Amino acid sequence: MRIDTDSVIYVVADPIGDSATIDDVCFETTLRGLERQFQGGLLCDANPTIFTDRGEAEAYARRRLEAWQRYREEARATEARHREAMKRYRAEIEGLP
């Protein structure tokens, strides 16, 4: 498929934060618009993925959001375990001679 600077493309990038939605991670643009996105701060670290088909882009974005939500849940659980361990550590060292 031939894509020029004004062809419509769909970009999916990594979610940011806990409340990311499909509209936050999947957007319609052109190559010119994508260039402006990079100038405005979009980084390759956000793993942008380009599609020409909207449905394919949205399906992929939903899968990335689901994976992100699983990651965030795991991270929150890990953070909670870390906080509890630090409480136990502080309690233990307060009792040291």
Average pLDDT by consecutive 10-residue portion of the chain (97 residues)? 94 89 95 97 95 97 92 88 86 79
pLDDT for the residue 97? 66
In the prediction, which pLDDT does 55 show?
Answer: 97
DSSP per residue over the chain, as a string? ----TTS-EEEE----STT--HHHHEEEE-HHHHHHHHHTT--GGG--EEES-HHHHHHHHHHHHHHHHHHHHHHHHHHHHHHHHHHHHHHHHHT--
Map tokens 């020029």 to a residue.
4
For the question of whether the overall pTM of this predicted structure is more than 0.85, the answer is no
* pLDDT score, position 58: 97
**What was the pLDDT predicted at 28?**
98
pLDDT at site 12: 96
